[in-house]
Amino acid sequence: MRITLEDAMVEMGACARAAKAALAGAPADAKNTALMAAAFKIELRKNDLLSINAADLARAQNESEAFRDRMTLTPERIAGVAAALREIAALPDPVGRIVREWTRPNGLRFQRVATPIGVIAIIYESRPNVTADAAAIAIKAGNAVILRGGSECLSTNMLLARWFREALAEAGLPADALQFVETTDRAAVGHILSGLKGTVDLVIPRGGKSLVKRVEDEARVAVLGHLEGVCHVYLDRDADIDKAVAVTLNSKMRRTGVCGAAETLLIDRARLADLYAPVAKALKDAGCTLKGDAAIRAIDPAVEPAGEDDWSTEYLAPILAVAAVDGVQGAIAHVARYGTSHTETIITENAVTADRFLSAVDSAIVLHNASTQFADGGEFGFGAEIGIATGRLHARGPVGVEELTTFKTVVRGDGQTRP
């Protein structure tokens, strides 16, 4: 009898589901031991990982340089992966945490207690470090996890997943709590999104627009969306010029391929004359290409024109669209129209203007006088993250271990009945 992909996926879901209760009830020590064991294996067997990653890279000659860079493991990156696992192991256990407690006049004592979500499926693209981070964060939060990585890194990811399963077993936890989809068949994703309803409690897509769109269209289970970040820097009329230069440069150029990188610069028309030149110079010196609206091109004709599409483009490259706006209200309106509710920052010395921006901009993360590249679980102090959620429910912004828990309400009484 031939085993179909559907059979295999159902079996995988059943295995994860069966491991769920053991993970949910696992003591913190067991989960941490598993993460430490995985870190140890990754360091010890570094050369196996490098050579299998080299084989994946050899098959990916036609991919872009940026893509291949994200796929690539180096000894330093491997050390970083292991270090991240140890950091996650060192985090406080999020399960059983009492989020809130209160007592009612009738004597009933209420506790809102953090519990695991259950079975989480994570569908992601190229980076192999996501395999380790996602597995570790999900396990730390007491969840069983189904991982589906990008096909280009299949061999690297499979090896990492196998070591995680070994590590779980060594810690006395079911290896089946980690399932890795060992096929590049895209139909497998469809099975996760609709066929595993009732088995998978949450799907987290992490990747480009087309992946997230597919997940949102097809999912019959809850989704924690990680949409693109068309992040904005707004330089207000009361901006400090040094902060404006430093924060804009860092927001755009520190790393251009991350979702928290700025893609649009908005400048208050009232300060265009003195703010644009130094900011543009710093960006150009760092290798950034600018695209401007009419107002920008009027003062810097060498800049290429920005079209309507540019305002909603996530370049993930050293390109920045620049527009003049009419004060903070103009900036708020521009972000509302083109933004992706990810991360935006205002540079101003005026606290009232800052509060207006922070309050009116409806994004997961809003900053004042700080770089958009702080949109990161590590920078938030979460230790690690699976991504930046841009949906509106459950979690917004960095998704770390706490965000992969839910809660129940425990009520203790002494025989109370309701009148």
Residues that bind a second copy (CB under 8 A): 21, 24-25, 102, 104, 108, 110, 115, 117-118, 201-202, 216-217, 220, 222, 224, 240, 242-243, 246-247, 249-250, 254, 336, 354, 358-360, 362-371, 373-374, 376, 379-381, 391-394, 396-397, 406-418
What letter would DSSP give residue 4? Answer: P
CB of 30 to a second copy, least distance (A): 16
Nearer to a second copy, 38 or 203 (CB): 203
Q: How far is CA 401 from the centre of its chain?
A: 12
CB of 246 to a second copy, least distance (A): 5
Nearer to a second copy, 47 or 359 (CB): 359
Nearer to a second copy, 42 or 114 (CB): 114
| CA proximity to 397, closest of 225, 211, 146 | 225
Q: With contact defined as beta carbons under 8 Å apart, do 236 and 268 qualify?
A: yes
CB of 44 to a second copy, least distance (A): 30
Distance CA 125, CA 249 (A): 28
CB of 407 to a second copy, least distance (A): 6
Nearer to a second copy, 285 or 304 (CB): 285
Nearer to a second copy, 56 or 344 (CB): 344
CB of 258 to a second copy, least distance (A): 10
**Two tokens, residue 357:** 């921006």
Nearer to a second copy, 80 or 391 (CB): 391
**Two tokens, residue 54:** 């080299």
Give the other-Cβ count within 10 Å of 79's Cβ.
Answer: 14
Q: With contact defined as beta carbons under 8 Å apart, do 359 and 380 qualify?
A: no
Helix (H) or strand (E) holding 84: helix 75-90
CB of 76 to a second copy, least distance (A): 16
Nearer to a second copy, 311 or 382 (CB): 382
Distance CA 250, CA 370 (A): 9
CB of 294 to a second copy, least distance (A): 28
Distance CA 208, CA 125 (A): 8
**Two tokens, residue 23:** 């993970």
CB of 219 to a second copy, least distance (A): 9
What own/partner pairs with CB < 8 Å and gap ≥ 24 does 69-78 have? Answer: 69/257, 70/126, 70/127, 70/257, 71/126, 71/127, 71/128, 71/152, 71/153, 71/156, 73/49, 73/128, 73/129, 73/156, 74/50, 75/46, 75/50, 77/129, 78/42, 78/43, 78/46, 78/49, 78/50
Nearer to a second copy, 10 or 24 (CB): 24
